[in-house]
Amino acid sequence: ESGECMCGRIVDVLPLSQATVSQHLRTLKNAGLIKGNIEGQRVCYCIDEKAFRLFENEINAFLKIITINNTCKNG
């Protein structure tokens, strides 16, 4: 496949309503993590690989910081 997925196809594989999936896709698009191209009455989505890698690097850096600075003790 082209790496793009229609919202309806995403809804088919998730236990979520179309409205919920659309809202989450809109949030991901606004965050720049995915791209959406309008094709007629449908929107085709794909991951913005560059933005996703940057986000992944930021999350990994954050996890390292909180792991190093974790002062919680058991008990």
Would you say the pTM of this structure is higher than 0.85?
A: no
pLDDT over 90, % of the chain: 41
Residue 71 contacts by C-beta under 8 Å, 6 or more apart in sequence? none
Chain segment 40-49, per-residue pLDDT in tens: 888 888 899 9
Domain residue limits, the chain: 5-68
The pLDDT of residue 1 is 46
- Is it true that domain 5-68 has CATH number 3.40.50.1110? no
13-34 pLDDT, tens digit per residue, is 889 998 999 899 999 999 999 9
Is the pLDDT at 36 greater than 80? The verdict is yes
Q: Taking the CA atoms of 52, 58, 64 and 70 in sequence, report the sign of the dihedral they define.
A: negative
